[in-house]
Structure 1
């Protein structure tokens, strides 16, 4: 299977334009509004769940000790918040069927 390209905001807006018939400007505006709403929710510490697609989850990682692989020197890694994505079961099945 060949590696696929990258899906961009412009691709999403174009799909809206073709599928629903909105103007390109309105389609781009809707894509931007949806992404902004998702970013706002995540920045407030909320998880974002899209049924049939997956869930964007914020996790707090504690401080830990890492190691420089070249020198072997231990380095403290500061606590931080990370964003992870868990694909829904339906999405996992679709991906497996496509490969």
Structure 2
């Protein structure tokens, strides 16, 4: 493991622990504004991710392939869920008729 990877792992663990400590401290208080702050942070992270992806020529060149793979995975997941839900429904229907 390189020094850079170790620093990233430590930053992630440090962020998690910091969040746990802050959460423990503010537990029980009015947290109405925290939802808005989280939403803003998520949108900011998505924007930064888009900028990073948009500046990476390799990723941009492979977007059609990545999009097709994402579509196939999505269709497969939905189809599998529908099929296995139908099978389970049939099995449970037969069991209840007996």
TM-score w.r.t. length of structure 2: 0.29
Q: Which is higher, the Rg of structure 1 or of structure 2?
A: 2
More helix by percentage: 2
Structure having the larger proportion of residues in strand = 1
